[in-house]
Amino acid sequence: MAELASHGPVALEYTIVLIHSKDDRWIAQIDNLGVRATGDTDIEARSKAQAEALRLVADQIETDKASPDKVCFGVVLD
């Protein structure tokens, strides 16, 4: 996970890779956080992945006593 700076503006940017599997399910991965989620739709998989990523970021914020100015998710289809 990217480390948060203790001062100055910080933007955390993550890429969600969407994969449409052969069994018609969707997989959403955020590799640099180790997040992987599945869903019946691309939106469901992406939402689950974002929620897990935000939980991880929240834990890091509490631990590091730092705060990002923004958290962004980009999406690519694989």
Q: pLDDT per residue over 6-56, tens digit each?
A: 555 678 999 999 999 999 999 999 999 999 999 999 999 999 999 999 999
Count of structural domains, the chain: 1
| Non-local CB neighbours of 22 within 8 Å, separated by 6+ positions | none
Which pLDDT band, with edges at 50, 70 and 90, does 64 fall under?
confident
| Domain interval for residue 65 | 11-77
Do 70 and 9 touch, CB atoms closer than 8 A? no
Stated pTM of the model? 0.83
Asked if residue 4 is part of any domain, the answer here is no
Q: Return the pLDDT at 41.
A: 97
Asked if residue 53 is part of any domain, the answer here is yes
Asked if residue 46 is part of any domain, the answer here is yes
Tokens of 58: 């929240």
